[in-house]
Chains A and B, each alone.
Chain A
Amino acid sequence: MIRARVLCQQAGRQAGGVILALLAASGLLLLAGASPVEVFRQIGLGAFGSVTRLADVLVVWGPLALVTAGLLVTFAAGLWNIGIEGQIVMGAIGVTGSLRLLQDAPLPAWAVLSVALAAGMMAGAAWAMLSGLLKTVGGVNEIFGGLGLNFIASALILWLIFGPWKRPGIGSMSGTEPFPDSLWLPALAGTRLSFWSVALGLAAVGAVALLLSRTVLGLRLKAVGRNFRAAYLLGVPAWRHLLLAFGLCGALAGVAGFVQVTAVYHRLIPSISSGYGFLGLMVALIIRCRAAWVAPVAVFFAAITIGGIQLPIALQLDSSLSGVLQGLLVLGVLFSDGLRHRAAARP
């Protein structure tokens, strides 16, 4: 009961920011000569207008929820894991590498896919821990370390796609040879959506919510995030917890990479992360560590992403408008949060 009430109150507080963002977006659209009502309607229809569309939204939701769940862990530990994009990419590379090794082996598909999932998690976690090691050992702020590692990861994926993993006779940045159908995560009939993508996303969100609210480990991560020095002096092995937070987040990013490779693209492409790392950062910023909100807010963002595709088709508007809308939402919510804090600080 109390929990539900708290959730409602939180929703209410965010509504102001959402409305603010919608108003600002409407203003922009009017300037661009488009009807805001029509734009929002098209986005809504594009996201929820049919079962196929809804399925497409969930195709985005799966990896986005995985990434956001991971980011909640690093946020709880006070870390800006900007390196998340690179971690998705490394996860996808791990998955692709293991699939390439095993696709001709006499193993059942589920076994190959399980190995690939594990490889993706390990690759993502390892890449994230590298950010962590740079911070803990080298004193490199995780934002800069993460940016650097993102560049390295994208250079690596380009090199693999144009080089060792190129399609025979072809030198193209459009991607590797698609994997055989048997190694695709099965899609629900008539859609591109894999049950496993949603299931993995839900499981990750649930596990992270449980971790942060009910476990001693979660409490310790939060302590490290809120006051690293004090947590250390209170006897929490703070450095180890930082690394652990990175590792957990990277592992979930690796799962997102697994979903992208095996359920969405069925091959490795340069933009395999689809920008979900940064989108996940936006979602995490909005919900501010409240795990219960990951699922709905991620649906919202996924819906804008998918619905935005209708803008060029129906209204000849640039679909990057959906990115603008997402950015405005984040700003709107943060702005109204800030206003409220100011108001609370000086009544």
Chain B
Amino acid sequence: MARPGAWGMRLLAGLLLVGLAGCGSGPSPDVATPRTDEFVFGLLMVGPANDRGWSQAHFEAGQYVEKNVSGTRMVYVDKVNPADRPGTTPAQLANDLLDRGARLIIFNSDDMKDGALEFARAHPDIPIIHISGDNAWPKGRDFARLPNLANVMGRMEHGAAMAGFVAAMTTRTGRIGYLGPLINDETRRLAAATYLGARHAWTQVLKRDPGQLRFKVSWIGFWFNVPGVTADPTQVADGFFSSGFDVIVSGIDTTEALAEAKKFSTPDKPAWAIPYDYVNACAEAEGNCLGVPYYNWGPAYVQHVEAVRAGTWQPSFQWLDPDWSDINNPDRSAVGFQKGAALPPAAAQELDAFIGALAGGLNLWTGPLRYQDGTVFLKPGETATDTQVWYLPQLLQGMTGQSVSNQ
């Protein structure tokens, strides 16, 4: 027994030595120190980089930067959430990107708010972009006054309104389901914006009774399905389609609603869905996709990367409008709407007219509007301020579904 033991010891010692040699041989080239002329930026994504949604839109924006700004390179971690990466925190993973030489770090999710702040405080010399946050907004409620934190968000309220618009133009049952992620300021305002777009189409274009439009919001509890933790979006979508809803507008990061629309659709009972976030999200089921409101983060990323390189970067809060001259311009517009193959031509025409009206100054956030509980949100003729929209405390009258978690 002693002999194999001794042999094993030698082997183990050998392995350890090899390991230590590997670790200890001076500053290893790939723990960072990039070529001096190279600019490395880091991206933390809450979901998988190929989710056909939120995270993929960011990932491709990073590739857009690499392509359009020479000498840049992206390092990234995806699935940055405690369910997928147990035991880790966003700040810790940001540190790993820093070790890989990143000189600008992008946190791509509302869920990383605390991590982004913690990291920004710990690294005052590293510019941080927290997507969808408000800590860099002097008018906002949580202004943190940090010298190295910027916020970027697209005004998806417009895209959401377009989604609601085509949903209402297409529905045959008058029932639109909204597949919501978790409940917070951002998701409430996007759900509300979708409803406003739908109501506009219903009452102004179709001239129908607003009482006959059902707009129901179901929340799953997170940005995407976490088995065992969130409600299953597939089940929620099934629930919509099997209870008379024929259009689902998705507000989550992934495309379950579209897949279910394809499954439930029959020639006499068609079902449609409108995914979210990512320009090519319709590819999952072209025949059931009415279109997709999407983010185009590339141009904003380029602007930040160039500013950091030039040394002119400043903290900022950006809530970026579409480029109204062409909302689908990949180099200029932060928010776009890609029409889907299933969108009826007539509805498509009306949509163009609607987009034109929005570009011309149509503001759906104009009174009279009431909150879901009946209290007045906007008096007749009053328009909502940015903070009123950003921090929308409740859903609007006419929508069903939870405004806040009511458990």
Touch A–B, Cβ below 8 Å: yes
A residues apposed to B, CB below 8 Å: 8-16, 18-19, 41, 44-46, 48-50, 52-53, 56, 59-60, 154, 158-159, 162-164, 166, 169-175, 178, 192, 264-267, 269-276, 305, 309-310, 312-314, 319
Query: What is the bound-complex CA distance between A252 and B6, given in angstroms?
Result: 35
**16 A-B pairs with C-beta separation under 8 A:** A9-B6, A9-B9, A12-B7, A12-B12, A44-B19, A44-B22, A45-B23, A50-B31, A52-B99, A169-B183, A169-B184, A171-B183, A171-B405, A173-B229, A312-B78, A313-B77
CA distance A40 to B281 in the complex (A): 36
Which residues of chain A come closer than 8 Å to B76, judged between CB atoms?
312-313
CB of B344 within 8 Å of the partner chain: no
A292 to B40 alpha-carbon distance, docked (Å): 44
Q: How far is the CA of A45 from the CA of B15 in the complex (A)?
A: 15
Contacts of A60 in B (CB 8 A): 87
Contact indicator B31/A9 (Cβ below 8 Å)? no
**Bound complex: CA A267 to CA B113 (Å):** 13
Contacts of A312 in B (CB 8 A): 76-79
B144 at the interface (CB under 8 A from A): no
Q: Which residues of B contact A270 (CB under 8 A)?
A: 82-83, 226, 229
| Least CB distance, A262 to chain B, in whole angstroms | 14
Q: How far is the CB of A16 from chain B (nearest CB, A)?
A: 6
- Is B83 touching A12 in the complex (CB atoms < 8 A)? no
**B331-357: which have CB < 8 Å to A?**
none
Assembly CA distance A31 to B121 (angstroms):
43
Distance to closest chain B CB from A32 (angstroms) = 17
With a cutoff of 8 Å between Cβ atoms, the chain A residues found around residue B111 in the complex are: 172, 174
**Top 8 closest pairs, chain A to chain B, by CB:** A12-B8, A171-B405, A163-B407, A171-B183, A172-B182, A9-B5, A274-B86, A12-B5
Is B204 interfacial (CB 8 A cutoff)? no
- B125 at the A/B interface (Cβ < 8 Å)? no
B310 interface residue (CB < 8 Å to A)? no
- B221 contact set on A, CB distance < 8 A: 158, 162, 171-173
Interface segment out of the listed B90-98, B262-270, B286-294, B372-380: B90-98
Q: A12-B8, A170-B404, A173-B221 are in contact. Are A274 and B100 (CB under 8 A)?
A: no
Asked whether B393 is an interface residue with its Cβ less than 8 Å from the other chain, the reply is yes
A15 touches B86 (CB 8 A): no
Contact A271/B95 with A173-B226, A312-B77, A314-B30 known, Cβ cut-off 8 Å: no
B1 touches A48 (CB 8 A): no
Q: Annotate B63-90 by CB proximity to A: 1 below 8 A, 0 otherwise.
A: 0000000000001111101110111110
Contact between B183 and A172, CB atoms less than 8 A apart: yes
- The reply to whether B87 and A172 form a contact with Cβ atoms under 8 Å apart is no
Q: Which of A11, A49, A275, A319 contacts B31 (CB 8 A)?
A: A49
Partner of B222, one of A53, A59, A174, A267: A174
Q: Which of B6, B19, B81, B96: most chain A Cβ within 10 A? A: B96
Q: How many A-B residue pairs have CB under 8 A?
A: 158
Q: Is the CB of A11 within 8 A of B9?
A: yes
Q: Are A162 and B86 in contact (CB under 8 A)?
A: no
Given contacts A49-B28, A310-B96, 20 further A-B contacts (CB under 8 A): A8-B6, A10-B5, A44-B19, A44-B22, A44-B23, A50-B99, A56-B92, A158-B221, A159-B407, A163-B405, A163-B407, A170-B184, A171-B184, A171-B402, A171-B405, A270-B82, A309-B96, A312-B79, A313-B96, A319-B79
Contact call B28/A309, Cβ cutoff below 8 A: no
B23 and A271 contacting across the interface, CB-CB below 8 Å: no
A10 cross-chain contacts in B, Cβ below 8 A: 5
A173 proximity list for chain B (CB < 8 A): 182, 221-222, 226, 229-230
Residues of A within 8 A of B9 (CB): 8-9, 11-12, 15
Residues of B within 8 A of A (CB): 1-2, 4-9, 11-12, 15, 19, 22-23, 28, 30-31, 75-79, 81-83, 85-89, 91-93, 95-97, 99-100, 111, 114, 182-185, 219, 221-222, 226, 228-230, 393, 402, 404-405, 407
Q: How far is the CB of B14 from chain A (nearest CB, A)?
A: 9
**Contact (Cβ within 8 A) B23 A49:** yes
Instruction: State the CA gap A166–B87 with chains docked (Å).
Output: 21
- The smallest C-beta distance from A150 to any residue of chain B, in angstroms, reads 10
Nearest-CB distance from A325 to chain B (Å)?
14
User: Do A11 and B226 touch (CB < 8 A)?
Assistant: no
Asked if residues B405 and A309 are in contact (CB atoms below 8 Å), the reply is no
CA distance A175 to B183 in the complex (A): 12
Question: Are A9 and B1 touching (Cβ within 8 A)?
Answer: yes
B407 (CB) vs chain A CBs: closest residue? A163
Q: Is the CB of A170 within 8 A of B8?
A: no
From known contacts A13-B8, A45-B28, A270-B83, infer whether A170 and B91 are also in contact, taking CB-CB under 8 Å: no
Interface-central residue, A8, A46, A171, A178, by most chain B CB under 10 Å: A171
Interface centre among A162, A166, A275 (most CB of B within 10 A): A162
Which A residues lie within 8 Å of B228 (CB)? 154
Choose one: A13, A49, A59, A271; the contact of B4 (CB below 8 Å).
A13
The residue of chain A having its C-beta at the shortest distance from the C-beta of B230 within the complex is A173
Neighbouring B residues of A313 by C-beta, 8 Å: 75-77, 96-97, 100
Name the B residues within 8 Å of A272 (CB-CB): 82
Residue of chain A at shortest CB distance from B111: A174
Complex: A301 Cα to B147 Cα, angstroms: 39
Query: In the assembled complex, which residues on chain A have CB atoms less than 8 Å from the CB atom of B87?
Result: 59-60, 264, 274-276, 305
Which residues from chain B contact A305 at a C-beta distance below 8 Å? 87
Q: Is the CB of A170 within 8 A of B405?
A: yes
CA distance A270 to B93 in the complex (A): 19
- Residues on the A chain within 8 Å of B12, using CB: 11-12, 15, 18
For B219, what are the chain A residues with a Cβ–Cβ distance below 8 Å?
171
A6 to B11, CA, bound (A): 17
Q: Which residues of B contact A274 (CB under 8 A)?
A: 82, 86-87
Task: Determine the chain A residues whose CB is within 8 A of the CB of B222 once the complex forms.
Answer: 172-174
Cβ A48 vs Cβ B23 within 8 A = yes
